[in-house]
Amino acid sequence: MSLVPSLWTVLRCWGRIGCLGFGGPPAHIRLLRELCVDRERWIDADELEDAIATCNLLPGPSSTQLAIFTAWRVRGTAGAVVGGLAFIVPGLIAILALAALFLGGPPEWVLGAGAGAGAAVAAVAVHAGWGLTPASWARRGSTGRWLGYLAAGALAAALLGPWVVVVLLGCGVLEHLVRRPPRSVSAVIPLAAGAGGTAGAGVLLSLAWTSFKVGALSYGGGFVIIPLMQSDAVTEHRWMTGPEFLNAVALGQVTPGPVVHTVAVVGYAAAGLAGGLLAAVVAFGPSFVFVLLGGPHFDRLRTDRRVQAFLAGAGPAAIGAIYGSAVPLAREITHPWQYAVLAGAALALLALRRGVVTVLVAAALVGVAVTLLS
């Protein structure tokens, strides 16, 4: 195993991943594996696989938690803070700059690019769910319950908006009670309290609550955050329009780093730059807490039968929620030509297996062309 790296090395290496990590969690995991296992040998392969599995047990953005954990593993608490921030900040800067462009009275061609990319995001959601389904199906216990949890998550995301959190937690607790490990009948995850509702009056308090739900109450990460944010941002508080929310989701996909950066665009729409930064801090804060407090116990967490039972219910429900998030996203389409873009994106992602960033950029170019020619 290599020598313990300096904090400067952690800053440089994790910052590089933060700048180059286009493509979501699969890309982030690949880059972290290449760095920590293959090249520097700071962590052995089995330990990294265990860390990946454990991060998937936690609420919030799993690839962000993996980046924080690996930095903690090689350089302790200071390394976790430096590495985690280095992973998060480059994409955050990029998405806030793009938020200022798209939400600040942009020219027509920029609006066209947003409309084109936004039209494709419902297909991206289905693609994300499809990518997670085989592994979850292979780990299922009861086929009937697995399908039931999947359907419950999909319906909740499509119809219930922010209450999807309650459904995910409920599926996890139900499976836990069905399996009922010996000497345990208690709820597994205490974060269920207060999953629905509002944090109080004021834009910043409301924004902080929305961001907290994204960072601490969302199982499955990625597109599970969509129904959590969309109802708050578009319907309840009206910080942004439906098409602007589609742009936010697309920007979260085409910028490097975690998809949860989308919450920063919502924050920018609600309260400018300060709102964007507040949303990011609140959304990513729980990931640092989970890793710094739980890192020494990751081995036990992964093998705990209560946690395994909870995730056997919450996991397929989260995947269902990702599928279901495509419904409210598709509802925000406003122009007929966008449906053609959506169909083309679905074909490219699901049948032709093109990359998400490539498809979104192509959709944006179609939007620009339509705008300039109309």
Helices (H), the chain: 7-20, 25-33, 45-55, 62-103, 108-138, 143-159, 164-179, 203-216, 225-230, 242-254, 262-294, 298-303, 305-324, 326-331, 336-346, 356-373
Question: Whole-angstrom Cα distance, residue 124 to residue 226?
Answer: 12
Highest-scoring range by mean pLDDT, 38-47, 250-259, 263-272: 263-272
Express each pLDDT in 297-322 by its tens digit: 777 776 778 878 887 888 898 889 88
CA–CA–CA angle 181, 183, 186 (5° rounding) = 80
CA–CA–CA angle 192, 312, 288 (5° rounding) = 50
Q: Which two tokens stand for residue 225?
A: 């955050």
Whether residue 336 is predicted with pLDDT greater than 60 in this model: the reply is yes
Q: 9: number of CA atoms within 13 Å, CB side?
A: 12
Q: Which two tokens stand for residue 266?
A: 């919502």
Q: What are the CA-CA distances from residue 256 to residues 91, 104, 178 (Å)?
A: 5, 22, 40
Express each pLDDT in 117-169 by its tens digit: 999 999 998 998 898 888 888 888 889 999 999 999 999 989 887 788 888 88
